[in-house]
Amino acid sequence: MRIGYPCINQSLECRVGRTFRLASYSEERLIETVSRNLDCLEEILAYNVEHGMLFFRIASDIVPFASHPVNEFDWQEHFRERFEKVGSYIRSNGFRISMHPDQFNVLNSPKQDVVERTFAELIYQCEVLDLMKLDSTAKLQIHLGGAYGDKGSGIKRFARRYERLDERLKQRLVVENDDKSYTVEDCMELHEICGIPVLYDHFHHICNGGGEPTDQMLHLISDTWVQADGDPMVDYSSQLAGGKKGQHTESIDLDDFSAFLQATEGIDFDVMLEIKDKQASALKAIEAARSDPRFSG
């Protein structure tokens, strides 16, 4: 079990997803920004090695506007060696890596242009992981998409588009239950059709699930990950006290996290802490997990 946090380390000055506005796009600016993002990624990874946090999510905009038509620059070639160098560091330290195309990426949209943009974004994010020479245990996690009043059709549409993806991309893509529409059960239905692994988001399951116990859900989704996929990835958060339903907590609730570890005893997975204070909570979680025989860091 590796423990990690997404994208940002607040105790370091740098930001790995630094970007800029479309209106101020220039090739020069792009090169400068990607270069700084890669510097920062190296800095964060070194911090994470030092602190035993071996699961990390790379920000989607590590290469700003990578899948946008404005960007005609061959960033893949220009930064090839730098990506290789970071990838080599990742591999030699035993990191697990994910990326998470965000809400605008809707593979099951009825709109063809939306689907095309989603394909382009998925290809870009896959290229980042490929350039780092990471194997198929490095994943892209995406939500099932819009419900459009008929989830059954939405699931089938996702499956059809999934089949059209390049094999390389199919080996990286996993589907995650969301907090509003598609439950773990829905994701399992999609898995039955096209074989895509299911990433369990614990908090989303609490918000939008059938009340099934955690261990039951984990046993269910574990079988959707084959050896080449690595251990299942799991997202963990909890409710912000006094906040709207679905809002992520500011800082980890260690009682809740310990209960989560206990409820999942004996099941292998890597866990991503989607908590606002990022590495601060990850550090606390690691202390709580040190006595767990599954923990590696």
Partner DNA sequence: GCCGGTCAAGGTCTT
Partner DNA sequence: AAGACCTTGACCGGC
Distance from C-alpha of 138 to C-alpha of 295, rounded to nearest angstrom? 19
Distance from C-alpha of 125 to C-alpha of 131, rounded to nearest angstrom? 10
List of residues contacting DNA (CB under 7 A): 8, 15, 18-24, 60-61, 64-68, 102-106, 109-111, 113-114, 117, 121, 145-148, 179-181, 244, 246-248, 276
Nearer to DNA by Cβ, of 59 and 184: the residue is 59
* Identity of the residue numbered 216: Q
The least CB distance from residue 252 to DNA, in Å, is 14
The least CB distance from residue 163 to DNA, in Å, is 19
The least CB distance from residue 102 to DNA, in Å, is 7
105 to 200, 222, 247: CA distances (angstroms): 19, 25, 21
CA angle 265, 176, 33 (to 5 degrees): 110
DSSP per-residue string spanning 104-132? T--TT-S-HHHHHHHHHHHHHHHHHHHHT
242 to 74, 81, 248, 249: CA distances (angstroms): 47, 48, 11, 10
Nearer to DNA by Cβ, of 15 and 91: the residue is 15
- Nearest Cα residue to 55 out of 288, 279, 256: 279
Q: How many CA atoms are closer than 13 Å to the CA of 218, on its beta-carbon side?
A: 22
146: left (phi over 0), alpha (psi -120 to 50) or beta: beta
Rounded to 10 degrees, the C-alpha dihedral 21/24/30/31 comes to -140
DSSP per-residue string spanning 171-203? TTEEEE--SSS--HHHHHHHHHHH---EEEEHH
Nearer to DNA by Cβ, of 267 and 283: the residue is 283
Nearer to DNA by Cβ, of 39 and 215: the residue is 39
Nearer to DNA by Cβ, of 215 and 277: the residue is 277
Nearer to DNA by Cβ, of 64 and 297: the residue is 64
The least CB distance from residue 183 to DNA, in Å, is 14
Q: What 3-state DSSP class applies to 269?
A: coil
Nearer to DNA by Cβ, of 114 and 288: the residue is 114
